[in-house]
Structure 1
Amino acid sequence: MRYLVIFSLLLPSFAQAAIVSYFKYEDGRTNWQYVANFSSSILIILLSLVILGLFIARRRLFKAHRELHAIRDDLEVRVKERTATLNESNTKLLASNEALEQEIAQHILTTKRLMTSEAYITDILTSMPLMLVCLDKDGRITHWNRRTEEVSGISAERALGKSLWEAYPTATVSPDQIQQAIKNQDTVHIKQSLRSMSHFDITIYPLRENSDGGVVLLIDDISKETMAENMLIHNDKMSFMGEMASTMAHDINTPLQGILLDLRSFQRALRANADSDDAQQNAKRAERLDEIANQMSLKGDQVNTIINNLLAFARSRQEKKQMVNMVDVMENTLRLAGDILSVSERLPFHRIKIERHFDENLPLTPCYITEMQQVFLSLLRNACHSLDEKLASEVVTTNSDKPFIPTIKLLLAECYGNLWIKVQHNGKGLSNEEQMYLFEPFFSNQEPEKSVDAGQRLSFSYYIITEQHQGHMAVTSDEESGSTFHMQLPLQA
């Protein structure tokens, strides 16, 4: 009945009146049977609609539930994927953090090492005994070490940032030299002497790995070393001059003593001729006097040749080397040796066998001619002494069937861009100690109490070959078979 009332209320007024009249009898009483049937029908319809709505709702709910399960499954899959990705990211992040921590630790260690190295290098540059100045491409000072402060009297604070010539106006290095080192990217060496008292060795080298294109000046104060070297050179020169004078005196003494001996013989012959009345004897004495005079004249010419050679040696020193044929120099020296060398009457130079082994078409050699003649002459004189000693020993002990022939072998050859010179003799050889000290000044293989023989010294020859000609000189010797002097001269000046 409640639903009927509700339903009736929802209908329009005329419909309501029609429905109400349907449920009443003609006498106005209510027909409850119709009302009950109608209400039941309406209720069944409503229940059917509700059931249909519930069924539809259930279907929708089931579909929604199924979609929800799908969404949940998909969400679970996504959550798992995201979780796996997050775990992987966390793992990578942890690994990155560990690597970053290691890298940071390595950077800290590297920084400490760099700081230590920088401090060490700075300490070296600051404490080094050489003057060190660093310049940028504009010539401004970037480093000024302690030694530079001491020598210049200018502190690093005052010098840094300024140009070299602004900070130190008396600097002898010119801007052109700095620019030359930067432009050519090559080291520049400068030697400077101030009032012959201070000597500096300056090296300018560019910083090739530096984009700023700076240079470094390394200045070494070599005043003490230079003075000591000059003193040593002076002493060597004095020693060589003494040796050369002694050698020339040795060469002059022999013909001079012969002249004096001939002069005394000449005087005795004159006195004997004055006291004698025999014409035949006088004629013989006159011939003897003429012979003595000729010998004196020859020996005087020999002395004159030696003196002229000494004067030529003193005057003919050339500023530059001359390109010469060394065979000609050797031949001229042999002719000169034949005139002036006379070690003893037992062995004059012309009795020595000379063997020549000269390569053909030898190239011209740059040398100082007079000095090379002096070297060859000294070696020939040394060979003559050794041959004379060997000959004297052979005369005393003549037990060999094969006679001793004094021989000097001369060899000239080209090898590997150098001229090789060998002077070999079969005279008395040198001991190991004598070979060691042969090229020392005033060396002699005689006993200390004996007179020093200039013919045995070769220090001046060694100086000429090694210092003046930038060559090499050595000796090999055997006391029985003789000695060989080896010389090597560069063919390029």
Structure 2
Amino acid sequence: MRARSSLRTRLAVGLTILACLGVGLQFAVFDRVSERMRDDVARRNRELAHALAGEVGNALAQPEYALSALARMLASGLSGEALDVALGSIHHFTKIVGQVQVINASGRLVAASPAMPDSAGADFSSKPFFRVAREKQGLVYSEANVPSQNEGGGAVISESFPGGVASLHLRIEELSRMAMVLPSPQGGFIAVVDGKGSVIGHSDPQAAVQRESLLNMAVVRRGFDGVEGTNEEVYAGVRGIASVAPVSTSGWLVIVFEPASLAYSSVRNLYSYTLGGVVIVALCSVLAMVVFRAQLLRPVENLTAQTRAVARGNYSIDITPGFREFEDLAESFSTMVANLKIRERALDNSRRRLSAVVDAMPSFLASIGSSGRIEQWNVEAEKLTNIPAREALGKTLEQTMPQLTSALPGLGPTAAMSIPAKWEKLTVDFGSGRRIVDVLVYPLSSGGDMGAVLRIDDITDRIRMEEVMVHTEKMMTVGGLAAGMAHEINNPLGGILMSAQNLARRLSPDLPANRVAAQEAGIDLGGMRAYLEKRGVFQQVETIRELGARAGKIVANMLGFSRRSHSGYIPARIDELIERALDLAANDYELKRRLDFKTIKVVRDFSLDLGEAPVNRNQIEQVLLNLFKNAAQAMAETADIRAPELWIRASRTSDDAVITVRDNGPGIRKEDAARIFEPFFTTKEVGEGTGLGLSVSYYIVTTMHNGSITVKSTPGEGAAFILTLPLRRSAKQQQSQQAANA
């Protein structure tokens, strides 16, 4: 390694380059900072525009909501004193509402708040807001009137209902007050323009009265096209920065304008400071060159500092000799650093590879030193225990996993003494639920130090899958037996019903054959019928028919539910599906052992326009039956405290049918609600539940029917499951239906 130049030359060249870099850096910083300052101006103006747009939108949202609610109440027949009270409440709802009016279908004023005695019955049929509202659905904004010197202006929000139009007259002067509250740009303004580009609110109230049109500004036109942002504009001959933001659903815009001369004044000042800085850097560089040339020992100090950095473990330093006399020394140091760097890299790679192998293991792995403290904690250990490695390392097993050491008192000493041991199928609560695990301890010897490796395998899902397979096989057998029994019961049951019907017919005097047979037997058929009626025989025959029909319905439900569905997705009445699932739940033997479903008070709330939805009947009945059974099992825990009640509400929106199943059981904890639809997740004791009921229901509703199912719960008060089913077939359902038809 040879020095390419003398110390004096290198110092001169180095300081010259340093001066050039300093100058270049200053100009680079100037460009960066000036660009940032311009961005800050644009961002500040955008934030001002969005702030006012948000405030105006919030101010308009309340009247919009009140008007929609009033239209719905009017459609439901609101009138008289209740109407006056409602109008008064809306009028005082917010400052921006000036007047509330209700106009009938012929355009006549019906009611208003504040009252308008002189305008009672006035004709508003020619008003634009009335005509537009009758032609369109939903909320409609009319053209705004800007307040003049002597009177307040207003805009009208209107919405039609079957009997006419409800309207709110807004005080537009409130918009100017909102704009005045915000900090206006120096020399600029903040304004609100309506859908035609006219100013209806201004940080200068006098400017709002003039109703100036800002459509000549390109940023306003782009704002009406749905493009937000900041652009350079010219307003009143002044070049500046303009930003726009839309005001919710009103079609209005907020514009913020600031003259460029004031906005970029700080940039010009920065440019002056930068030029001064360049001069200072140049002078300092010349002075430094003179000083550094006098410091002949500085390279020696640099070499010493480099060797010290290497001694501290910084191998990335490139050691340079500085003087020709130090070339051999520098080369020796460079060789040493290169060798150390290679060894350090190899050691680091070995550590990373070992750590990656340990983290890749699907089992909990932790190494324990001879002192009984944890020295390694892999990723699976973090997942199982929810304890990060940084918190577990250096602690004992008793400190980190007290629930495991309490279940296995000998685990800690066994691991510390490196004695092989194994425990199988232990049930441990690691904080995220009860898990079934296998625990193994392996001896570990390293450099004379004894330790152990602790391995934990989570076999919960495997055990539950085994239970599910056994349970499924049993249920298939029971289902087949039940279907066979139902068929066998159906035949004699049909005979009983037919015999009861024939018995009633054979005793009727209306049949000629009955009268002939009675005459041949010498019996007065009318007298015999009177006797049988007096003894209640006909009532008993009718009871036989009713009970037989009821048993037939139970058998039919059992056969229908146990039979595999090939019907595909066909329209079905939601209320019929609910009632059928309730019948199945009422005859569920498993429920009767804990809480007879028939003792539960069921409250039905079905909309009259519920209609039909394209569903697979058996699948949706299975989902509803799961929800009803879960609700009954939950309410069994609180049956001693309060009478069990089940509320079932069915309604429809424009696109969906919505079914809500709510109980008054103990409710669901927040942490359990987040995982309730996961496969194999259950809060029941081992052996009582598989954790598949709700996960299967979730799959049926979301994947098979393109719907949704959610849960809401307040612990101690009950839980509610909300089931949403589309009223129109999805593409997947249509394909399934075509396959079923084929």
Whether the TM-score (by the shorter chain) exceeds 0.5 is no
Greater CA radius of gyration, 1 or 2?
Answer: 1
Higher fraction of strand: 2
Higher fraction of helix: 1
Instruction: Give TM class, smaller chain.
Output: 0.3 to 0.5
Specify which structure has the bigger relative contact order, considering alpha-carbon pairs within 8 angstroms and separated by 6 or more residues: 1
TM-score, structure 2 as length reference: 0.24
